């Protein structure tokens, strides 16, 4: 079997046993990228020689019996909003097209310390705003299962890279569903951990109270392997929580006895595609056959989650994105051309004797800020900045932002109550399988509604996982979502692994060849 067909856990076993070198493995994935990524466009950047040099360095340490890290020699792809020292980190935005951070994100430093081989930076929606990857300034990623369809977003490049066997593991980030949605659309396993489980230091911020970094791979075991490296308290992120990190990769194979699953009544209503519902219900039956009990629960405030999110996330984004002014950070327009325009306008107004307009002319600095942001940001990012600025402005703050924070609390309380009687909440990840590229681009509201099942976990701060649970008649993957109380990632992984011992959806391959 080709090396790219192996799960990360299998490949790591081969590397540790000395049956495969990291250089061979890395070369195999680089070849696969070469063969597929012109069609899929999962990567924004691949540095072949750096990846191979790194692999060889790890191999030589291993040959010399020097200590190696937990992921020694294993390729990992990372979303292009994680700062990599001296290497482009674009957030799929023109704004950061030439940005090279002066430091590594904590998760990148951890991957390096674990001796992973960073194989490339993956495509995404600009600044992680989107659910389809169509908002990338550098062109969309395509779903490996059907190249005319979206891979989900915003971590669509990471999901597609794993699904297409271009990387055994990938790192994504999830603010409202951005790991779970693309995992579902591409048929891979992806987890959003509890808020505070993984350090956000060096993650380019979208909505700081919601953003969380997490693992993506073929199986729950692979996700466990990666999460074990990513997770943990970090003094550089004051919101990361100092709770012990279990040995996920060891415990993941332990089944859960007497698992109690909650099915959310409100998740099986209007808007849910029939095939998705059937696959999810069948997945629940699989759990029952494994000894789980199932009960219907209610999350009564869930219906406000999308509205609440689209106040809170843009509000935070409008603040976070204020730094991109072409001075501190970001794209700087052509100053020579701007100065000439300014001068021409001044002359014209002088000739016309329009003293009022002359006095009103923006000064050069304001003009540069405006031009920088007008040129650097794409339409969805601008839409979010406007929404957020509006929601935070005087007179609207109480009516929108403060109200949204109160609803957010109620959403969390719904989960707290549900978890008094169930261990995990189970349900769909997204209302339909992957839609066609272009289908929703002119309808932001229907795009926003696509996240209705994933957003409440971010608002509540809890963890969730998406695992493959079936296919549509059109051959598109369907995901099952499990959600757990705070810091119960271990439970999510063990439950996901149980399912993967009884099913083989996660082993299916997209018809790319």
Contact set with ligand GLN (CB under 6 A): 128-131, 154, 174-178, 206, 313, 451
Beta carbon nearer to ligand GLN, 309 or 369: 309
Minimum distance, C-beta of residue 175 to ligand GLN, in the bound complex (Å): 3
Q: Indicate the pairing of strand 424-428 with strand 260-264.
A: parallel
Beta carbon nearer to ligand GLN, 186 or 422: 186
Minimum distance, C-beta of residue 430 to ligand GLN, in the bound complex (Å): 10
Beta carbon nearer to ligand GLN, 55 or 305: 305
Beta carbon nearer to ligand GLN, 26 or 315: 315
At 469 the three-state DSSP class reads strand
Among 22, 132, 154, 155, the one annotated catalytic: 154
Q: Which letter, b or e, does each residue of 224-254 get, where b requires 16 or more Cβ atoms within 10 Å of its Cβ?
A: bbbbbbbbbebeebeebbeeebbebbeebee
Minimum distance, C-beta of residue 206 to ligand GLN, in the bound complex (Å): 6
H or E element at residue 508: none
Among 79, 121, 192, 440, the one annotated catalytic: 79
Q: Rounded distance, CA 187 to CA 476, Å? A: 8
Minimum distance, C-beta of residue 154 to ligand GLN, in the bound complex (Å): 4
What is the DSSP-derived secondary structure letter of residue 208?
A: T
Residue with tokens 């097209």: 97
Beta carbon nearer to ligand GLN, 175 or 308: 175
Beta bridge partners, 333, equal: none
Q: Indicate the pairing of strand 117-122 with strand 477-484.
A: unpaired
Q: Rounded distance, CA 239 to CA 198, Å? A: 9
| Spatial contact of 145 and 104, defined as CB atoms under 8 Å apart | no
Q: For residue 98, what are its two tokens? A: 């030439």
At 203 the three-state DSSP class reads strand
Q: Rounded distance, CA 250 to CA 224, Å? A: 8
Minimum distance, C-beta of residue 326 to ligand GLN, in the bound complex (Å): 24
Residue 255: partners with Cβ closer than 8 Å, 6 or more residues away: 290, 494, 497, 498, 501
Residue 92: other Cβ atoms inside 10 A: 34
At 120 the three-state DSSP class reads strand
Beta carbon nearer to ligand GLN, 72 or 321: 321
Beta carbon nearer to ligand GLN, 15 or 430: 430
Beta carbon nearer to ligand GLN, 24 or 273: 273
Minimum distance, C-beta of residue 417 to ligand GLN, in the bound complex (Å): 25
178 is catalytic: yes
Beta bridge partners, 79, equal: 122
Minimum distance, C-beta of residue 133 to ligand GLN, in the bound complex (Å): 10
Minimum distance, C-beta of residue 306 to ligand GLN, in the bound complex (Å): 10
Beta carbon nearer to ligand GLN, 299 or 452: 452
83 Ramachandran zone, left/alpha/beta (phi>0; psi -120 to 50): beta
Q: Rounded distance, CA 215 to CA 495, Å? A: 16
Listed residue (254, 255, 266, 252) closest to 289, CA to CA: 255
Minimum distance, C-beta of residue 440 to ligand GLN, in the bound complex (Å): 11
Q: Rounded distance, CA 385 to CA 72, Å? A: 41
Task: State which residue has the least CB distance to ligand GLN.
Answer: 178
Strands (E), 302-458: 424-428
| Spatial contact of 39 and 147, defined as CB atoms under 8 Å apart | yes
* DSSP result, 482-496: EEESTT-HHHHHHHH
Residue 260: partners with Cβ closer than 8 Å, 6 or more residues away: 292, 293, 294, 295, 421, 422, 423, 424
Active site residues: 79, 154, 178
């Amino acid at each position: 079997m080709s090396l790219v067909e192996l799960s990360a856990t299998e490949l790591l076993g081969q590397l540790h046993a000395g049956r495969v070198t990291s250089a061979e493995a890395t070369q195999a994935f680089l070849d696969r990228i070469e063969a597929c990524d012109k069609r899929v466009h999962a990567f924004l950047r691949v540095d072949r020689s750096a990846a191979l040099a790194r692999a060889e360095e790890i191999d030589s340490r291993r040959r010399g019996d020097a200590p190696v890290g937990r992921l020694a020699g294993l390729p990992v792809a990372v979303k292009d909003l994680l700062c990599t020292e001296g290497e482009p980190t674009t957030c799929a935005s023109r704004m950061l097209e030439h940005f090279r951070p002066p430091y590594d994100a904590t998760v990148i430093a951890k991957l390096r310390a674990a001796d992973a081989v960073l194989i490339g930076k993956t495509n995404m929606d600009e600044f992680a705003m989107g659910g389809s990857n169509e908002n990338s300034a550098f062109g969309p990623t395509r779903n490996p299962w059907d190249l005319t369809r979206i891979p989900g977003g915003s971590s669509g490049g990471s999901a597609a890279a794993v699904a297409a066997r271009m990387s055994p593991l990938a790192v994504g980030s999830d603010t409202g569903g951005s790991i779970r949605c693309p995992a579902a659309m591409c048929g891979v396993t992806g987890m959003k951990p509890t808020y505070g489980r993984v350090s956000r230091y060096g993650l380019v911020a979208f909505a700081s109270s919601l953003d969380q970094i997490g693992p993506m791979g073929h199986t729950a075991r692979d996700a466990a392997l990666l999460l074990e490296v990513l997770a943990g308290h970090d003094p550089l992120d004051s919101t990361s929580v100092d709770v012990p990190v279990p040995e996920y990769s060891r415990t993941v194979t332990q089944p859960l006895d007497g698992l109690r699953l909650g099915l959310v009544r409100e998740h099986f209503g209007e808007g849910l595609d029939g095939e998705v519902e059937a696959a999810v219900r069948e997945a629940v039956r699989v759990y029952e056959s494994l000894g789980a009990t199932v009960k219907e629960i209610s999350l009564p405030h869930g219906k406000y989650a999308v509205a609440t999110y689209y106040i809170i996330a843009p509000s935070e984004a409008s603040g976070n994105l204020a730094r991109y002014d072409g001075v501190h950070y970001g794209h700087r327009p052509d100053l020579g051309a701007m100065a000439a325009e300014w001068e021409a306008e001044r002359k014209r107004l002088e000739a016309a004797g329009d003293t009022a307009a002359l006095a009103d002319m923006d000064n050069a600095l304001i003009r540069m800020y405006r031009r920088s942001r007008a040129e650097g940001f794409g339409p969805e990012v601008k839409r979010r900045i406007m929404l957020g600025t509006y929601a935070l402005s005087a007179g609207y703050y109480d009516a929108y932002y403060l109200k949204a924070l109160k609803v957010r609390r109620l959403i969390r309380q719904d989960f707290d109550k549900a978890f008094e009687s169930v261990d995990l909440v189970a349900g769909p990840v997204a209302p339909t399988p992957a839609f066609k590229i272009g289908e929703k681009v002119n309808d932001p509201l229907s795009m926003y509604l696509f996240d209705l099942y994933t957003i409440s976990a971010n608002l509540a701060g809890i963890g969730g996982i998406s695992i493959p649970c079936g296919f549509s008649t059109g051959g598109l993957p369907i995901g099952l979502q499990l959600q757990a109380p705070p810091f119960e990632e271990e439970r999510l992984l063990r439950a996901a692994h149980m399912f993967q011992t009884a099913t083989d959806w996660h082993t299916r391959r997209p018809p790319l060849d």
